[in-house]
A = this chain, B = another copy of it.
């Protein structure tokens, strides 16, 4: 929708309200034992009830066969063509950490602590996954490094990961990575892939040299690797393009950062889904679009814990009456991708999509799961088209063409 400029003239502001509840990793797969998926096993009467009053279907997050990261998975849900708007790894890492000072013009990279031998050959690309308790002080040391002409900052992320921010160079992020992706060889130098990235490349290499000398006597990590150099992503504003007043309600920094870049108002919403729902209720009069994020289903799926994912879905179910009680014009339950427990990772499988509005009366789908939703009226559609449906059902999208 964002990239379909031909349709933007059909958009109109109205008082109607849309809630999009994104259940991270919503879709699953049947387990071997009883050939039932997490959604099929879970006792989720409120979601089943909602399905009975909704239009149902499945979404392809990006394209058949493509397992997306959270970036492209969410961008598609918001109506951005995920092939057109690609957010670099460094940027996603930076916006995923609370308190990172990252603005237009900065270049960020994801850093890994690693170990090299006496000949500068890589021994461990993740320094034994050194825990945060030890890496935080190393980050503090690296943060002392100064490179002339640059304002350089190091932010600890988690375990062996940190963010390097360079401010003051050109804004080109066309820089090569230093991680050779295998051990037994030396870390690479940063190279500029275009002339206007050269000053930043030189600064990054100076940082690396100083980091090496600071870490020389450390046992656990004596070198760093830099990946995913990125400038601040520039996205067309969701709120402006779609003529919405959009609120983002998420507990995790990455989703807050991502929706801030999309031009949503990020509402402080605590650390739990319960506090997110409280925030939704509080803010309900003030916005007409609400993104609210539920993380636990994905986390359990990523851990390969089928039962935990079932429990996460059952916990979510308990909040559905509270959300429906707000009586939004359109309530959408969608997922950014499937995270089947049997795969313990994001996957490419179709994800359930449920949309209720005054124009949906149900369609014989009486169970909130992958198999039942296959028979729904929405069919299996690209996730990038969900916002079209949301806006249409909300009366915000008028006729296209005369």
A-side residues, CB < 8 A to B, are 1, 4, 6-7, 10, 29-30, 32, 35, 58, 62-73, 82-83, 86-89, 92-93, 228, 342-343, 345-350, 359, 361-364, 370-371, 374-375, 377-381, 385-393, 397-402
Contacts A371-B364, A380-B379; A63 near B4 (Cβ below 8 A): yes
Complex Cα gap A342–B358 (Å): 11
Closest to A398 in B: B67
Q: Are A359 and B343 closer than 8 Å at their CB atoms?
A: yes
Interface centre among A65, A72, A86, A391 (most CB of B within 10 A): A65
Closest to A84 in B: B6
Q: Are A83 and B381 closer than 8 Å at their CB atoms?
A: no
Complex Cα gap A82–B346 (Å): 30
Report B-chain residues with C-beta under 8 Å of the C-beta of A364. Answer: 371
Interface centre among A6, A35, A380, A400 (most CB of B within 10 A): A400
Complex Cα gap A343–B87 (Å): 40
Q: Tell me the minimal C-beta distance from A72 to chain B in angstroms.
A: 4
Report B-chain residues with C-beta under 8 Å of the C-beta of A348. Answer: 388-389, 392, 397
Complex Cα gap A374–B393 (Å): 20
Q: Which of B66, B370, B375, B401 contacts A71 (CB 8 A)?
A: B401
Q: Are B65 and A389 closer than 8 Å at their CB atoms?
A: yes
Q: Are B375 and A67 closer than 8 Å at their CB atoms?
A: no
Report B-chain residues with C-beta under 8 Å of the C-beta of A388. Answer: 63-66, 348
Given A64-B388, A380-B381, list of 13 further CB < 8 A pairs? A1-B65, A35-B362, A58-B379, A65-B391, A66-B397, A67-B397, A68-B399, A69-B399, A70-B401, A86-B401, A89-B402, A350-B379, A364-B371
Q: Are B391 and A86 closer than 8 Å at their CB atoms?
A: no
Closest to A382 in B: B64
Report B-chain residues with C-beta under 8 Å of the C-beta of A7. Answer: 63, 66
Complex Cα gap A350–B380 (Å): 12
Report B-chain residues with C-beta under 8 Å of the C-beta of A58. Answer: 379
Interface centre among A10, A30, A377 (most CB of B within 10 A): A377
Q: Tell me the minimal C-beta distance from A306 to chain B in angstroms.
A: 14
Q: List 12 A-B contacts (CB under 8 A).
A: A6-B86, A7-B63, A29-B359, A65-B387, A65-B390, A67-B399, A68-B400, A69-B401, A72-B401, A350-B379, A374-B379, A379-B379
